[in-house]
Amino acid sequence: MSKEQKITIKDVAERAGVGIATVSRAINNAEGISSATRDKVMRAIEELGFVPNTSAQSLKIRQTHQIALVVPDIRNAIIPEISWSVEQTAKQHGYHIVQINTAGNARTELETIRNIKKLHVDGLIFMPLAYPKTLPALINKAPIPISIINYGKKLEPGIQADIVSLSQPEGKLVMEHLFKIGRTRIAYAGAPKDIIEERYRAYEQAVGHVDISLVYFGEDFSLATGASAADYFYGLTHMPDAVYAINDMVAIGLVNRFKELGVRVPEDVAVVGVDNNQWTTVSSPQISSVSIMGEEVSRLATELLLKRIREMSTADYEHIQFEPRLIVRQSSVAMIRSSSR
C-alpha cells in the first residue's frame, strides 16, 4: 500500500482478520472483545500506521435494522415455514428481513458472503446447501455477524458463526423405523449424493452393503424427482418394500406416482420423508416424516444473531442442537403386506 493512500479502519480489519465493528471496539477500549483479539487489532494498527481521527473515538457502526435470510430453494415447502419463523422473531425486535435464494448453487453461496456489504444488513442467517470448501474461510472474514442453520452436513470446527443444527442424522430415525416395521428391501430417493450428504450416509450405514439398484438420485428435492423415482423403482424386477425419501416433497411425489401405477402405500411400499412440512398431513395417505424442528431451529438462529448484533459481541460462538422427531403417519404404518409384484 502506497504512503499516499490513506489507511482506513477497513484496512485494519482486513489485516487483523476481524470485522470493522471489532476494530471499533478495540479502538474505544469497549467491552465484548477478548484481550487476544484486542492485541491482534492493535498490532495491525501499529503495522499499518493507522491513526484514528477524533470521530473514530466514538465510532458507531450505522445499523439498518435489517438482516438477510439466505435459503437454498424457496420452492421447497419447508422454506416458507422457516422464513415465517425468522421474520416473526426479527419483527419482535424491530428488524426486517431481506431474503436471498441461492438455488443450492456453490458459486452463489460464495458470492453472497463475498458481497455481504452490498446487502446493507446488520447480520445474516445462512442456510447453506452446497457448502463449497472455501465457505468457512469467507464466513470467518465476514464484517457482520452470521448465524448458520445447518442440516445434513458435518461442519469443520473453528467457524466463526453461531450454529443451530440437529443432534443426530434424520435418516437414522427413518431407517430404524423402516426396519422396525419389518421392511427389508429399502430404497433411497433423493437429490445428488453430495447434497445433504449426511442423509444419504445414514442410509449407507443402516443397510451396510448398498444395492445400487435401490438408489435413485434425482436433480433436486421436488415432486418431479419423487415421481421419477417411483417410475424407476416400479421398473425393477423386484421392487423395494420401502423408500426413504430425502425430503417430504420427494416423498409426496413418490406416493402420488405409486398410486397412479397401482402400487399401494403402505401395503406394497412404505414411504418416509424428512422435514415434516405442512403438506404431509393433507397428502393421501398422510406421509410419515422426520421433523427437523424448522420453526424452533430458525427462531433460535435468529435470536442468537440479534443478540450478537445488539451486544456487538465477539464472545465464544454457540453450537446448539435440537433433537429430530419421527412422526409416523399412514404411509409407513406396520401391517401385513402383499407379496411382491
The tens digit of pLDDT for each residue in 15-67 reads: 998 887 788 777 766 656 788 888 888 888 888 888 765 434 434 456 789 99
pTM, to two decimals = 0.77
Closest CA to 332 of 237, 255, 234: 255
Instruction: Give the model's pLDDT for residue 58.
Output: 36
User: Do the Cβ atoms of 45 and 29 come closer than 8 Å?
Assistant: no
Distance CA(315)–CA(308), nearest Å, equals 9
Q: Which residue matches cell numbers 435440537?
A: 322
Mean pLDDT of the region 148-163: 87
- pLDDT of the residue at 56: 41
Give the SS3 label for residue 111: helix
pLDDT tens by residue, 277-328: 999 999 999 999 999 999 999 999 999 999 988 877 667 899 999 999 999 9
Residue 3 has pLDDT above 70, yes or no: no
What pLDDT sits at residue 86?
Answer: 96
Mean of pLDDT over the chain: 88
Residue 4 has pLDDT above 70, yes or no: no
In the chain the domains, ranked by start, together with CATH numbers, are 9-58 (1.10.260.40), 66-167+293-324 (3.40.50.2300), 170-291+327-332 (3.40.50.2300)
pLDDT digits (tens, 9 = 90+) for 94-123: 999 999 999 888 999 999 999 998 889 999
- Alpha-carbon distance of 322 to 253, in angstroms, equals 28
